[in-house]
Amino acid sequence: MSTNTRQNQLTHEVERRRTFAIISHPDAGKTTMTEKLLLYGGAIHLAGSVKSRKAERHATSDWMEIEKQRGISVTSSVMQFEYEGNCINILDTPGHQDFSEDTYRTLHAADSAVMLLDGGRGVEQQTIKLFHVCRQRGIPIFTFINKMDRAAKNPFDLMDELEKVLGIRSAPINWPIGTHGDFKGVYDRQRQEIDLFSAGAGHHGSKQAKLTAYRPDDPELRKVLEQHYIDQLAEDIELLDIAGDPLDEELVAAGLLTPLFFGSALTNFGVEPFLREFLRMAPYPAARKSNLGPIQPDDEAFSGFVFKIQANMNPQHRDRLAFIRICSGVFQPEMDAMLTRTGRPVRLARPQQIMAQERVSVTAAYAGDIVGVFDPGNFLIGDTIHDSSRGELAFEPIPAFAPEFFARIEPVNSLKRKQFLRGMNELVEEGTAQVFREPDAGTGSFIAGVVGKLQFEVLEYRLKNEYGVDVRLTHLPFREARWVRFAPDAATTEAEKLNLTSTTLLVLDRDSAPVLLFESPWALDWALERNRGLQLLDINAE
């Protein structure tokens, strides 16, 4: 194959890829939306709603046993499917706020985001946090107002919320008809057609919904839609045309304007029109920042980074996978690549693409794709891997956020110490929790730190079920963790000599970096006031 032909093929593969994450507040319908996108992409033939946990099916993206028991997503899932010539990579993130750190890492691997809002609740707290992560990365954000088949807020009020709470203006692509629990359908502003809603059209959400479309001036429309709905729609569209924002795709690409869609993921209504329009506007993989400058996705030299590590995804496999976001070049099975952190080559063995717990062997992967490779313990989250011709390439680090809850953790049975240490090491490398130790403590004493309390349950559950270790958790009163840094004029550069309150604890993270644990904001302020040049960071990005 000639160089030009190879380059053209590489560019073609990159340009047909769309890699995006779905973000939302808990219970906005995110995992259901993911299932429905898979349904329309032909990746599954029967969708299982997350609500029906006691029914025969569970959501495809909720694969861990604890997720099925609790009816929530606690890990990010990665799914790939083809749709009308596009190769789509969906990153389904945990909606529960206790697992937001996994979501932050996943957003680092996405080129765009779909923000799902509950039509009855509007913008909620967890959505605000995740939106700001997307805004910081400058990626495009597409908004889907879900649950329109139930009573919802006025759509103009929802647009106002987006602007006032999130600081982003919106351009409605379609517009709802009936928002008081009397949902009738949507008006597609580009096609200038009304798509009527039928609750049973998608077989209660398990199959694709067939739409019935009418022009607003079609006499047949009056037979199926009351006149007052038609009149209200005309008023709304007139107001939108005069006062609303036009669709400016340059502003969308810059993350400054969000295309707005209305529908119901549960019943499948509006999902396929959204998917088609999203694929038209969403970006293919872009250049990634690195210490060597931007790395172009169609550069022939391979590169990527590890954004997720998962052990024991399936009890039948009992292995550990490192999830790599491909940034450039072509990934090929069993290839060797340089691991920047160690400066040594690694074999990228047994590459697989994942549909939740289902695995498919990879023959080739391109920028934007997510590949799971066998990890015998080589990789850490944030690792850069690359073709040896690139030199010392390093992509931007994935930040670690300060935990907010802490507990001392130890095995109930001291004879299980070896299994306990192995389990803790692997689960910490996955990002299930952060671990700290006191400088003078032995290796058997850990303090686990998490962003949300439910992470303790997951940690305890997985240690018991995957490693056979019952653990004892002793919750600690600390509420703030800060990494220690010193300015050039610092009074001391030794963490052990800092002037601290009696309730403040100095610990070391797994890289032996000093961290201070505080019981209150007052104790944190006290430390800053009494230690000249002390810097306390709530994000560790080194």
**Tens digit of pLDDT per residue, the chain (542 long)?**
677 888 999 999 999 999 999 988 888 888 889 888 888 877 765 555 444 333 444 555 554 565 555 544 445 577 888 899 999 999 877 655 555 677 788 889 999 999 999 999 999 988 888 898 889 888 999 999 999 999 999 999 999 999 999 999 999 999 999 999 999 999 999 999 999 987 665 455 556 666 788 998 899 999 999 999 999 999 999 999 998 999 999 999 999 999 999 999 999 999 999 999 999 999 999 999 999 999 999 999 999 999 988 877 666 656 788 999 999 999 999 899 999 999 999 999 888 886 655 778 888 999 999 999 999 889 999 999 999 888 899 999 887 778 999 999 999 999 999 999 999 998 998 888 999 999 887 666 799 999 888 889 989 999 999 899 999 999 999 999 999 999 998 888 999 999 999 999 999 998 899 999 999 999 999 999 999 999 999 877 66
The gap from C-alpha 70 to its chain's centroid, in whole angstroms, comes to 20
Nearest residue to 113 (alpha-carbon basis) of 141, 74, 151: 141
In terms of DSSP H, where are the helices of 27-118?
A: 30-40, 65-70, 100-107
- CATH number belonging to domain 303-390: 2.40.30.10
CA 112 and chain centroid, separation: 10
Q: For 400-540, give the CATH class.
A: alpha beta
Residue 96 confidence (pLDDT): 56
Phi and psi torsions of 404, nearest 5°? -120, -10
Bridge partners of 308, per DSSP, are: 323
Map out the domains of the chain as residue ranges.
Answer: 17-281, 303-390, 400-540
pLDDT at res. 35: 86
Look at residue 311 in the predicted model and tell me its pLDDT: 76
pLDDT of residue 53: 37
CATH ID of 17-281, from 3.40.109.10, 3.30.1380.20, 2.40.50.320, 3.40.50.300: 3.40.50.300
pLDDT at 206: 58
The C-alpha atoms of residue 117 and residue 128 are separated, in whole angstroms, by 11
Q: Which tokens hold the place of 268?
A: 């499948």
pLDDT at 534: 96
Q: What is the model's pLDDT at position 432?
A: 86
Please identify which residue in the block is written with the tokens 């990665």. 78
**340/123 Cα distance (integer angstroms):** 40
Q: Output DSSP code: residue 401.
A: E
DSSP 429-461: HHTS-EEEB-TTS-TT-EEEEESSTHHHHHHHH
pTM, rounded to two decimals: 0.84
* Separation of alpha carbons 411 and 414, rounded Å: 6
Tell me the CA distances in angstroms from 422 to 235, 312, 469, one per residue in order. 64, 13, 10
DSSP 8-state symbol, 264: B
